Structure 1
């Protein structure tokens, strides 16, 4: 039932937001250049890799050694605006449509984080990653990793269509209030360096 709802709702949302996505793509193309889409391999259901699709918000600027500059240095004013209203996440509706993501679930993070999780935290990969989730409506990037993962695991153990509906409704409110978009002193959130309980 959840997969069926994901398909139906993602089709509806793509139809509704397609004009917005075209405008955002045009703004990024003018202000930041091409490409306007950013893809990156992320762990999906059971940790299986997939390519997450987002609007680009950063430049590919490098230092004198050819290394990428920090997120804070590469994030553009246009990128900040796009992230402020979570518009960069809209292309992930295509991920939902192709089955690599769900509308609701733990957010897909970096592949390099997989070996850093504790056994309990790995439970977050027992479901498809989501465009929004329990942690996103309870602090998003403003909360610490351990707390965020605890919320992800709680969601996996308590998931239901009622809970998903509640999360989606609260997400709309959070987007308009622009809460938890960034962590203090970081473009989004500090990097995860390992669980206290790992190993």
Structure 2
């Protein structure tokens, strides 16, 4: 007997996708096998390690705990492949991970990147203890976490610099004659 299949629509990294999946297909498996987005890694399949973390409507979730048919009810899914800007400019967290040498084998990295991107968005000026607490739910067997914590802090710094530069550009916009914008 074959399992009933469901046609679903998922908006992933700004692109609309369709897939035909069994009711019990996990979002992590759908992303990897049905959509070919292999950046989301699957470690424990129990929601413990965090390697499969993606953003569901902007919030970090363990994609190994979400059914693909349930994810179809949400507006947007962001995977590690969707963090960079459309022109390929790395997201601040991607830049920070490189600068801070925050990865070794790289298996856990996609989950950390998506988690930290959301964390810094919501907490733009974390302290070291805050950064350490933010990443405690994701497991890394290689780094010892210090460089990951440094990357959280550097991500926040880069983001503040970019936000400041954007504000300066807006403030420096040319004014029409008479001093009015």
Same fold (TM over 0.5): no
Which one has a bigger Cα radius of gyration?
2
TM-score by length of 2: 0.26
TM-score by length of 1: 0.25
